[in-house]
Amino acid sequence: MAQQFTRVIGVYPGPVDTDMAANFDMPGAPTIEIVDAVLQAVIEGREDVFPDQMSADYCVAANSTFAGLMEVPDEVIQAIRKGQPLADEKLQTLRIFVTDMVQNHGVASPEAIKKFIDAGYSNAQLLEVIMGISLETFASFTALVANKPPELFLEPKRWLWRVPWG
């Protein structure tokens, strides 16, 4: 997409103050704040945006913790947390593929799959990515509906950045 000057940014909010989140037992982030966070990411050149307390507290802490347990190098974890591109081209291809899958609600174009495979990943790894996205979605939605704070073991990796409504 870069060849056609299209930039893709992953935005991963918790509940947003819309009719869809009206019945949640927690306040949603104001839509204008989500928009502001996305615009700031564009200005700063970040690829991933965690614009609210839910995404900051739970998702970032959990993913950072589990990545560390899987022995992902700290510089990779920090680049992802800061929304910076990864130095390793194969990992960056994985990151772009996962972001595209999430943004397109699980739909991967034949071109995206080809880039993923051409980067050295297998069909089995493609299915592992799909399973990982499914589990992450399930866990995030469950935590949201249950109004569950992050577990204590996630606290060391909690994202300390706070938004005005948090």
- Distances from the Cα of 133 to the Cα of 40, 99, 136, angstroms: 26, 10, 5
- 18: three-class secondary structure by DSSP: coil
Domain-by-domain residue ranges, the chain? 2-157
- pTM reported for the whole predicted model: 0.56
Helix (H, G, I), strand (E, B) or coil at 80: helix
Domain 2-157 sits in CATH at 1.20.1290
Instruction: Give the pair of three-digit tokens for residue 150.
Output: 């992050």
Task: Report the distance separating Cα 88 and Cα 155, nearest Å.
Answer: 28
Tokens of 27: 């306040």
Per-residue pLDDT of the chain (166 residues; tens, 9 = 90+): 566 767 777 777 777 777 777 776 667 778 888 888 888 878 877 777 777 777 766 677 777 888 888 888 999 888 887 778 899 999 999 988 988 887 777 788 889 899 999 999 999 999 998 888 887 777 766 766 666 665 655 666 665 544 343 3
pLDDT at res. 163: 39
Query: Which tokens sit at 156?
Result: 């060391």
- How many degrees, rounded to 5, is the angle at CA 127 between CA 141 and CA 138? 10
